């Protein structure tokens, strides 16, 4: 059996849904189809909640959401005799949305829990409608089998429990219906049963959890691009599709900024050695990118792709008499990991160390370190902390980087030759991703210079 996931743009309009219907109905054997909310709807749902919180008019946002779904329910895609009943069910969910918005504006309060309820409606509506569009399909409620728990203020999937619930729920697939439609992104808390989600972009991860649990033959991610590219094509016009990647390469490309799939997606399927294909709903004949456990790149190729995270902060930590650089380095990484903050790069510096984090994590990182160092005595004797907020992280990714140890020098030299100052650099844990921190203003120039080396 196979698992397919269709993203927001793929399910966003009547014409794109026609492609989805065609693609799914032309597969054979049992298939699980994981779907996102209609493109842009999650953002609209959040916008409405914020307007309600600010005491502003949210009715128009709600009407836009309603209109988007109505256009599809009353299109020829849904059989005429199913339209009214389907619309009745969608209307019940829209009524819930209206109640949530009313509640938010009355109470002037928008908790994370309420927001999770609000955004869940996007996938609940899309999956319901799509289950009426595709032949021989039935709706499987992800909230019953994707379970999360709290971890540093975030909801993360509880994989063992989720795995067994998926196996149980899908045991009838192929006998009761050929196609199972499941909403992506949404889940419930294992202890409270509250509605949660897997984070923005999390539908890919839902599909991966299902594919891994059911030991699918393949996980197809249908999106709106032709696959992983050698660089972001919006920045580098010459960027090309990468036909094949290893699991590890794709993981690093995602972790260091490629936006093709949600980073945690690869992990569960990698463990079961299930290939992933990235395919384009709008260009279904294109071969896309296939991700497997093989390493097929020619040894002549320096690296596979270059990615970037444009909004980064570098935290400079200065050593002290009692806390010398090596010990300080470990300490900083421990503190940040204890707070669930991802370190994009860490490197020793002359009298201390540097850690690069996403700019959105920088304030929390500074706070965590400041609190931790407060135990070191007075401000004068504790390590100094400085944040540099105007930098980007540029990464070259490819298993060949490990084979050719001089690659990192070539990459840094290339940037220096282009007049771009490398503030700090390091090889990632995998050994085949080399990340350089450059001034944010030169981010495009850095990508362009490196892309020429591929």
The entry of Mg ion, ligand ASP, none that residue 400 binds, CB within 5 to 8 Å by partner kind:
none
Produce one character per residue of 387-405: b if its CB has 16 or more CB atoms within 10 Å, e if not. Answer: ebeebbbbbbbbbbbeeee
Count, in order, helices (H) and strands (E) of the chain: 14, 18
Nearer to ligand ASP, 36 or 424 (CB): 36
Binding residues (CB under 6 A) for ligand ASP: these are 7-8, 36-37, 42, 122, 184-185, 200-203
Nearer to Mg ion, 11 or 436 (CB): 11
Quick one: which of 183, 201, 227, 268 contacts Mg ion (CB under 5 A)?
201
Three-state helix/strand/coil letters over 209-246: HHHHHCCCCEEEEEECCCCCECCCCCCCCCCCECCEEE
Q: How far apart are CB 243 and Mg ion at their closest, in Å?
A: 21
The entry of Mg ion, ligand ASP, none that residue 222 binds, CB within 5 to 8 Å by partner kind:
none
Q: How far apart are CB 114 and Mg ion at their closest, in Å?
A: 24
Number of residues that bind Mg ion (CB under 5 A): 2
Q: How far apart are CB 390 and ligand ASP at their closest, in Å?
A: 28
Nearer to Mg ion, 154 or 259 (CB): 259
Phi, psi of 434 (to 5 degrees): -110, 120
Q: How far apart are CA 188 and CA 191, in angstroms?
A: 9
Q: Which two tokens stand for residue 411?
A: 């990459």
Nearer to Mg ion, 201 or 352 (CB): 201
Check if the beta carbon of residue 4 is closer than 8 Å to that of residue 34.
yes
264 sits near Mg ion (criterion: CB under 5 A): no
The entry of Mg ion, ligand ASP, none that residue 86 binds, CB within 5 to 8 Å by partner kind:
none
Burial (CB count within 10 angstroms: exposed 0-12, middle 13-18, buried 19+), residue 188: buried
The entry of Mg ion, ligand ASP, none that residue 288 binds, CB within 5 to 8 Å by partner kind:
none
Nearer to ligand ASP, 277 or 304 (CB): 277
CA angle, corner 138, sides to 62 and 184, nearest 5?
A: 50
Nearer to ligand ASP, 181 or 450 (CB): 181
Q: How far apart are CB 382 and Mg ion at their closest, in Å?
A: 42
Q: How far apart are CB 203 and ligand ASP at their closest, in Å?
A: 3
* Location of structure tokens 């005799």: 81
Nearer to ligand ASP, 168 or 200 (CB): 200
What residues have CB less than 8 Å from 339, skipping those under 6 apart?
A: 152, 364, 365, 368
Positive or negative CA dihedral for 329, 331, 332, 337? positive
Q: How far apart are CB 265 and ligand ASP at their closest, in Å?
A: 10
By CB under 5 A, name the binding residues for Mg ion. Answer: 7, 201
């Amino acid at each position: 059996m196979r698992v397919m996931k269709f993203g927001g743009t793929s399910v966003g309009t009547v014409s794109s849904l026609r492609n989805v219907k065609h693609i799914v109905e032309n597969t054979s054997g049992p298939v699980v189809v994981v779907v996102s909310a209609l493109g842009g709807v999650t953002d609209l749902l959040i916008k409405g909640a914020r307007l309600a919180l600010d005491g502003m008019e949210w009715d128009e946002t709600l009407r836009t959401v309603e209109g988007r779904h109505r256009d599809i329910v009353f299109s020829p895609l849904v059989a005429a005799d199913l339209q009214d009943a389907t619309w009745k069910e969608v209307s019940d969910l829209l009524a819930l949305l209206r109640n949530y918005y009313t509640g938010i504006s009355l109470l002037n309060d928008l908790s994370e829990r309420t927001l999770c309820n609000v955004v869940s409606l996007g996938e609940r509506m899309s999956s319901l409608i799509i289950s009426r569009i595709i032949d021989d399909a039935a709706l499987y409620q992800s909230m019953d089998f994707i379970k999360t728990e709290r971890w540093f203020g975030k909801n993360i999937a509880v994989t063992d429990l989720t795995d067994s619930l998926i196996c149980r729920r899908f045991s009838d697939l192929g006998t009761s219906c050929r196609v199972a439609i499941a909403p992506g992104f949404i889940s419930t808390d294992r202890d409270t049963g509250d509605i949660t989600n897997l984070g923005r972009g999390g539908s890919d991860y839902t599909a991966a959890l299902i594919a891994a649990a059911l030991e699918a033959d393949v996980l197809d991610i249908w999106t709106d691009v032709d696959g992983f590219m050698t660089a972001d094509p919006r920045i580098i016009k010459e960027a090309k599709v990468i036909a094949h990647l290893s699991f590890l390469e794709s993981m690093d490309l995602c972790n260091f900024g490629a936006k093709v799939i949600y980073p945690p997606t690869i992990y569960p399927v990698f463990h079961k050695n299930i290939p992933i294909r990235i395919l384009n709903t709008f260009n279904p004949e294109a071969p896309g990118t296939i991700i497997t456990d093989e390493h097929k790149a020619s040894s002549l190729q320096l690296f596979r792709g270059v990615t970037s995270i444009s909004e980064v902060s570098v935290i400079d930590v200065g050593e002290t008499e009692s806390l010398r650089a090596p010990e300080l380095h470990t300490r900083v990484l421990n503190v940040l990991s204890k707070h669930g903050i991802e370190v994009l790069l860490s490197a020793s510096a002359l009298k201390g160390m540097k850690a690069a984090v996403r700019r959105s994590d920088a304030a929390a990182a500074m706070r965590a370190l400041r609190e931790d160092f407060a135990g070191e005595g007075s401000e004068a004797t504790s390590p100094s902390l400085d944040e540099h907020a105007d930098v980007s992280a540029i990464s070259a990714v490819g298993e060949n980087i490990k084979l050719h140890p001089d690659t990192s020098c070539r990459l840094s030299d290339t940037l220096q030759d282009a007049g771009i100052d490398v503030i700090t650099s390091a090889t990632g844990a995998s050994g085949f991703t080399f990340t350089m921190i450059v001034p944010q203003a030169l981010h495009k120039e850095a990508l362009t210079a490196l892309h020429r080396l591929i």
